[in-house]
Amino acid sequence: MALYDEYLTQAELQRWILDADVSWANIDAALARTEPAVLDQVRDSALIESYFPVYTTRLVRAFWDQVDVTSVFSIQLYESYKHFYVLNRYLELVDYRPVSDEEIVASRRSALDTTIDDPLAELARYMISEHFAAYFFLRLSRQATEPVLRQIAGFIAKDEFRHTQFAYDLIDARLKHDAGSRDRVLGAALRFRHVGSDVVASVPISEKNDLAAILTLNRRLQRLCGISASEFAKTTVHGNY
């Protein structure tokens, strides 16, 4: 439970309070609506976060006998749904197409038959998805015009970077016990499909071909597996992954 102890401490130290830390009264709704493309990405992000009660419980079920995974994902589930709630409240306050309960149910229904055949590969998929989500919210926190959205995005970015790290730590612990599993992690990277693509047609991205995010991910995988995804791809017979 050492990982849970560390992660819970970090989560508590970095926790932001929905009604105390977000400057709801300072939202400039008119300014926010001048960037409908940004608000569309916020809306898709809200839908993705609303999917995590289904996705996380599926992943926890796959790792049901591994206490470290199930422990830290209990925190992740709370934080992800909190992200949905704050993003959707923002959409309500700027009067821009807030997500309805019916839409949440419909998006979840479309992914209900999804199964996890390789839990470790799925954990790698989750880690990479959170990595790109962190960069999306980081960029949004710096580039959005409306100041309260910038504030919200900054809070969420910190959570997403922490989620990425705890997934990395969980994978690292498994590779230390079974180095042969390395190829399953790298294979998941090569055939990566964002978790958000389970429920939205176009996953929000910080920028097309975000080089900084890609290079950072490649370095992370190299530390984790001893070889980067790009190098692994060169040594893999085309079509295996």
User: Helix 52-62 vs helix 67-93: angle between axes, to the nearest 10 degrees?
Assistant: 180
Number of domains the chain is built from? 1
Q: In this predicted model, what pLDDT tens digit does every residue of 113-156 receive, in sequence order?
A: 888 999 999 999 999 999 999 999 999 999 999 999 999 999 99
Whether residue 241 lies inside any domain: the answer is: no
CATH of the domain at 77: 1.10.620.20
Domain span at residue 59 reads 2-235
Query: pTM for this structure?
Result: 0.93
Whether residue 86 lies inside any domain: the answer is: yes
Whether residue 173 lies inside any domain: the answer is: yes
| Confidence tier at 241 by pLDDT (50, 70, 90) | very low
| Residue 207 clears pLDDT 70, i.e. is over it | no
Q: What is the pLDDT of residue 9?
A: 86
Query: Distances in Å between the alpha carbon of 174 and those of 16, 25, 30, 224, 229?
Result: 31, 46, 49, 11, 18
Q: How high is the mean pLDDT of the chain? A: 93
Cα gap 91→232, rounded to integer Å? 42
Estimate to the nearest angstrom the gap between the alpha carbon of 64 and the chain centroid: 21
Q: What is the pLDDT of residue 33?
A: 98
Q: Cβ(43)–Cβ(96) under 8 Å?
A: yes
Q: In this predicted model, what pLDDT tens digit does every residue of 145-158 receive, in sequence order?
A: 999 999 999 999 99
Whether residue 240 lies inside any domain: the answer is: no
- Enumerate residues 6+ apart whose C-beta is below 8 A from 54: 108, 111, 112
Whether residue 98 lies inside any domain: the answer is: yes
